[in-house]
């Protein structure tokens, strides 16, 4: 029995050592140096190359190294019956809320405008933006936490998800037919949806036009949920006043992408929430033990829904 860490382009010495402490009797190997692929019965994945998982014949379960699973499930060769779990990290939630607080205040205090004015040596004092209504797209672990957080701060908060949710202090909407009602009054739209076939390009020309003119978009979910060309058009027309983007279709963002030079776009390099390695290791070890005992994993994903 062994665990394979299939996490390309990342230094994993610390993760291996921590897992070995938790599971001293188990061999921990790092792909592609797998001494005996037939002995691997548990794989920890993040952006794995297509086909690698399918080449391990005796796998019992899969574990994402982060909160998302879209990059794992995009592999068309993934064995369909293998259970898959993700990391749920309270530190990640706290990190995300700090990021969102910072972004909200950046726009509320018009730092975006003052930064642009500085480049032109313009001295133009202005009062704070009126950001009163916030809409959160996606009401899973992070989305629900964000919606509750801003409601507790006194903002009027709406939330939208694929299926109906009930969150105290938040006006919840669900389904395609309620999207427009969820977003129509939002001064700030926060995207925390999972990436699934149903949400890919969800924020297209039609849906961006349903926002209040001059709304601000914050995407901390997945880049492919936003139609890049539609967002650029909305920014140029003023339908969207500004966009803070932490996630992109291709990462790092290619040098030729127009987002780099588009007025009104604030870019951050996918740092809004980073999984804590200690938390991840503890959950990986727990799920490995549960699989060996024939028990369901914690934070197991519904593969038919994609989250």
Question: Active-site residue numbers?
Answer: 222, 270
Q: What is the CA radius of gyration of the chain?
A: 21
Q: Which long-range contacts (CB under 8 A, 24 or more apart) does 176-185 make?
A: 179/207, 179/210, 180/210, 182/135, 182/137, 182/158, 183/135, 183/137, 183/158, 183/207, 183/210, 183/211, 183/212, 183/215, 184/210, 184/211, 184/212, 185/133, 185/135, 185/156, 185/158, 185/212
Contact call for residues 26 and 63 (beta carbons, < 8 A): no
The whole-angstrom separation of Cα 65 and Cα 284 is: 8
Q: Which two tokens stand for residue 64?
A: 């994402």
Please tell me whether residue 172 adopts helix, strand or coil conformation: strand
């Amino acid at each position: 029995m062994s665990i394979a860490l299939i996490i390309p382009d990342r230094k994993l010495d610390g993760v291996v050592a921590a897992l070995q402490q938790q599971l001293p009797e188990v061999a921990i190997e790092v792909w592609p140096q797998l001494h005996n692929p037939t002995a691997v019965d548990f794989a920890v994945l993040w952006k794995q190359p297509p086909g690698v998982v399918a080449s391990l014949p005796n796998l019992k379960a899969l574990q994402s190294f982060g909160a998302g699973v879209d990059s794992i499930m995009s592999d068309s060769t993934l064995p369909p019956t293998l259970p898959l779990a993700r990391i749920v990290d309270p530190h990640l939630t706290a990190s995300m809320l700090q990021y969102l607080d910072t972004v909200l205040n950046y726009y509320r205090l018009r730092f975006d405008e003052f930064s642009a004015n500085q480049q032109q040596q313009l001295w133009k004092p202005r009062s704070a933006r009126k950001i009163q209504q916030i809409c959160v797209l996606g009401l899973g672990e992070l989305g629900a936490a964000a919606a509750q957080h801003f409601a507790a701060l006194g903002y009027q908060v709406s939330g939208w998800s694929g299926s109906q949710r009930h969150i105290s202090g938040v006006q919840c909407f669900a389904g395609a037919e309620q999207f427009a009602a969820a977003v129509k009054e939002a001064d700030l739209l926060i995207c925390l949806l999972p990436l699934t076939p149903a949400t890919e390009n969800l924020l297209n020309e039609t849906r961006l036009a349903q926002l209040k003119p001059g709304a601000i978009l914050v995407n901390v979910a997945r880049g492919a949920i936003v139609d890049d060309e539609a967002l650029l058009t909305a920014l140029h027309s003023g339908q969207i006043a500004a966009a803070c983007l932490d996630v992109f279709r291709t990462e790092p963002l290619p040098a030729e992408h127009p987002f780099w030079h588009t007025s009104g776009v604030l870019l951050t390099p996918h740092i809004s929430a980073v999984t804590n390695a200690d938390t991840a290791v503890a959950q990986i070890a727990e799920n490995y033990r549960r699989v060996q005992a024939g028990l369901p994993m914690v934070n197991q994903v519904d593969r038919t829904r994609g989250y």
